[in-house]
Structure 1
Amino acid sequence: MAEYVVIAVELSEDLAEFSRLLWQQKLRHRIVVQEDKQLLLVASEQDAQQVALAYKSLQEGPLQWPESKPLSSSKPAPSPWRCFLRLPVTLIFIVLSVLGYLLVRFDAQLGLAAELTFFTVVREGASYNLILSKQELWRVLTPIFLHFSLLHVVFNTLWLWDLGRRVEYIQGSTKLLGLILLVALGSNLAQAMVAGAAIFGGMSGVIYGLLGYGWLWSVLVPHKSMHIPNAIVVFMLVWLVLCLMGFTRLLGLGEVANAAHVGGLLMGLLIAGAAAFIDRRSNSSKP
């Protein structure tokens, strides 16, 4: 999501009161420090014009809110089509996850669903064996779409919506797509290497990859932060530890692809570190 720099002022200027007034008017914004300046950013051109007029008015005397344009709170809710245009990758992967759950739900004999598993299912009478195929390369990615319970798919799609859209808003659809594919590759390979020949699936590894990426990126590049609340980070890490300790088995929730979770998290952190390094190098090379 593009952001508009409305004002850039010295660090000595206190913008707290002006920010409070903006929030009273439901004008969404954020203030970041970049080098020796404070930057006030908003998400739309209309908001930028309104905030700029308000700041100019404040400099000249008592603040007078411009009346020529409606406040942000009066904007109509975005249509589903506009939401899709802004978040296509997030929404497409949510839909594919739901379809993956329905496929597993109504394909108990592992017919079509077996084409999406990491290991190829070879039937031998009433039993079957799992082998690693070197030709069907799509299998290193497609297990992320398979979900084995309603709770599984609901949990993953909610987190995908929360974390995926943060990345897509700030960095765009292409980067989110690349991030998901790289994390899916790493998390699925990690699970296959640790667990061996088994049927596994789910978007959880990708979720942890998005968490690690968004958190570390925000730490290393704070002026382009994705604003992942600390409570989310703590909750997800605590849940990861509980899963590693076998807590889900005690609750009767079955086995969890722990290697995919850890692998996804490490992949997200690694990609974030590399992306932040590239971002800094590109900024330092600009005149």
Structure 2
Amino acid sequence: MQKLITLSSAEDPMPLSRHLWAAGIGHRILPGEQGHDVWLLDVRQWTRAQEVLSAWHHGAPMPKRAPNSLLKVSALVQLWRRLPVTISLIVVSLLVSAGMSYWPGEVLFAQLAFTPLQFSGQYVTISGLETMLASGQWWRFITPIFMHFGLMHLIFNLMWVWVLGGRLEAIQGSRRTLLIIVLAGVLSNLAQFWFNPTVPFGGASGVIYAYLGYMWLWDRRHPEQPLNVPTALVIFMVGWMVFCMTDLAGSLGFHVANEAHLGGLLVGLLLALLPCKTYRR
């Protein structure tokens, strides 16, 4: 994103927002230190946005809106251009969940699990890491992040992928977001398998905790370029992770991939220590 203008706290940003949307210019209004910061979502629209801004300053009438059908298509195209990595992660996760629901579940599960699985009635044989490496099935390092077990698991994880991952990608770009997904996915999966190799696992929780750790530490190291993750959310999510590590959580039926959560959180914190400028692709 790129900041277009800062309006004072006394100014209403909605008239300008209506002008920008009427011109098909995607933007976001965020609270800033001096008032309302208007951020341009696609820097390729910078010249057109400047023209609309100048016209708005001079009291020009609002641009004529395009037909609703064209606006919807344009909005979808802009959304894909802004968030291709986040959207791809969500779509692939939905497709995998649909496949696990409508095909024999163990077939797809066995192909995407961290190590090869063999089903025999009610029993599952889990191969070791050396079997996976020897057979060249390298995709298994990352594919467990696309598998979810149950509707609530899927909805909860994809909601945070959209909220946290979408915000991160919109501000810092697709490359940084993809880097976090790949590193957090692989390393959190490795952590979970290393400490608990006898239980198959899946889910994007490790990636979500990496988002959380990265965004929280980034905000503290770069307050002038914030990602604006709420502190209350960080406290809740970390508290939930700690609770799930207790015997009480297990007795209540909460069986989660604790090592993947912690591994993802640590990956996010470490990546936030690396030098990075705020940019859009």
Deviation at 1:129, TM superposition (A): 1.5
Q: CA RMSD in A?
A: 3.2
Deviation at 1:116, TM superposition (A): 0.4
Residues 7-58 of structure 1: CA deviation (Å, up to 9, x unaligned): 7xxxxxxx8xx2331446475255469xxxx99663264665666788xxxx
Alignment correspondent of 2:91: 95
Pairing 1:68–2:60 present: yes
State whether residues 187 and 264 of structure 1, in contact with CA within 8 Å, keep that contact through their aligned partners in structure 2.
yes
State whether residues 110 and 118 of structure 2, in contact with CA within 8 Å, keep that contact through their aligned partners in structure 1.
no
Alignment correspondent of 2:211: 210
Alignment correspondent of 1:58: none
Alignment correspondent of 1:129: 125
Deviation at 1:142, TM superposition (A): 0.3
Alignment correspondent of 1:59: none
Alignment correspondent of 2:111: 115
SS in 1 for 2:118: strand
Pairing 1:168–2:172 present: no
Pairing 1:106–2:97 present: no
Residues 45-89 of structure 1: CA deviation (Å, up to 9, x unaligned): 4665666788xxxxxxxxxx5421539xx9967622321222111
- In 2, the alpha carbon distance for the partners of 1:203 and 1:129 equals 24
Alignment correspondent of 1:43: 40
Question: 5+ unaligned residues in a row in structure 2: which ranges?
Answer: 18-28
Deviation at 1:115, TM superposition (A): 0.7
Q: How does 1:99-248 map to 2 (within 5 A)?
A: 99-108=95-104, 110-123=106-119, 127-132=123-128, 133-134=132-133, 135-246=136-247, 248=249
**Structure 2 length-normalised TM:** 0.77
Q: For residues 85 and 130 of structure 1, do their structure 2 counterparts lie closer, same or farther at Cα, with a shift above 3 Å needed?
A: same
Q: For residues 48 and 20 of structure 1, do their structure 2 counterparts lie closer, same or farther at Cα, with a shift above 3 Å needed?
A: farther
- In 1, the alpha carbon distance for the partners of 2:4 and 2:105 equals 56
- In 2, the alpha carbon distance for the partners of 1:29 and 1:145 equals 32
Q: Which amino acid aligns with 2:174?
A: S
Instruction: Figure out how many residues of one structure are paired with residues of the other and give that number.
Output: 252
- In 2, the alpha carbon distance for the partners of 1:246 and 1:69 equals 64
State whether residues 169 and 176 of structure 2, in contact with CA within 8 Å, keep that contact through their aligned partners in structure 1.
yes
Q: Which amino acid aligns with 2:59?
A: E
**Which moved further from structure 2: 148-157 or 23-32?**
23-32
- In 2, the alpha carbon distance for the partners of 1:80 and 1:224 equals 27
SS in 1 for 2:107: coil
Deviation at 1:197, TM superposition (A): 2.8
Amino-acid identity (%): 33
State whether residues 30 and 42 of structure 1, in contact with CA within 8 Å, keep that contact through their aligned partners in structure 2.
no
Q: For residues 168 and 109 of structure 1, do their structure 2 counterparts lie closer, same or farther at Cα, with a shift above 3 Å needed?
A: closer
- In 2, the alpha carbon distance for the partners of 1:121 and 1:186 equals 20
Residues 107-136 of structure 1: CA deviation (Å, up to 9, x unaligned): 455112211000211356774411121121
**Structure 1 length-normalised TM:** 0.75
- In 2, the alpha carbon distance for the partners of 1:221 and 1:39 equals 19
Q: For residues 195 and 175 of structure 1, do their structure 2 counterparts lie closer, same or farther at Cα, with a shift above 3 Å needed?
A: same
Alignment correspondent of 1:259: 259
Alignment correspondent of 1:20: 10
Deviation at 1:215, TM superposition (A): 1.4
**Which moved further from structure 2: 111-120 or 24-33?**
24-33
Alignment correspondent of 1:86: 82
Larger Rg: 1
Pairing 1:4–2:37 present: no
Q: Which amino acid aligns with 1:103?
A: G
Q: For residues 103 and 269 of structure 1, do their structure 2 counterparts lie closer, same or farther at Cα, with a shift above 3 Å needed?
A: same
Alignment correspondent of 2:270: 270
Deviation at 1:188, TM superposition (A): 0.4
State whether residues 4 and 41 of structure 1, in contact with CA within 8 Å, keep that contact through their aligned partners in structure 2.
yes
